[in-house]
Amino acid sequence: MSGQVRFGQIVWAEVADANGIRKTRPVIVVTKDDRISPSSPLEVVAISSLIPNPLPDDHVLLPWHAQGHSKTGLNRKSAAICGWQTRIAMTDIQNVEALFLTVFFWK
């Protein structure tokens, strides 16, 4: 699957939360392309649809649409939680979404 996974891409993967409970959720791959390989873990940032009000400084709202955003695939209001970084194995990935243009995330 390494040929399909790239820096800045949103993938659905099984990720443990702060309590150690594993759940399939969207994450943004932040491993640089030249470091992605089938045998190496991927660095990712978790995405959540549970958005506090006011929005914390480490949350970045992402583009979404009820029918699934054309770039992110997200179908509800969601945020990348920059303070929730973790590593996943390629085998944790359940689905690869369309390439998320990194220009949105790194503005």
Residue range 78-96, pLDDT digits in tens: 999 999 999 999 999 998 8
pLDDT at 96: 86
Identify the residue with better confidence: 55 or 99. Answer: 55
42-48/10-16 β-pairing: unpaired
State the pLDDT confidence band at 2, using cuts at 50, 70 and 90: very low
Cβ–Cβ under 8 Å, residues 70 and 80? no
State the pLDDT confidence band at 98, using cuts at 50, 70 and 90: low
Q: Measured between alpha carbons, how far is 83 from 73 in angstroms, rounded to an integer?
A: 22
- Which residue type occupies 8? G
pLDDT at 15: 94
pLDDT at 65: 87
- Mean pLDDT over all residues of the chain? 86
22-29/10-16 β-pairing: antiparallel
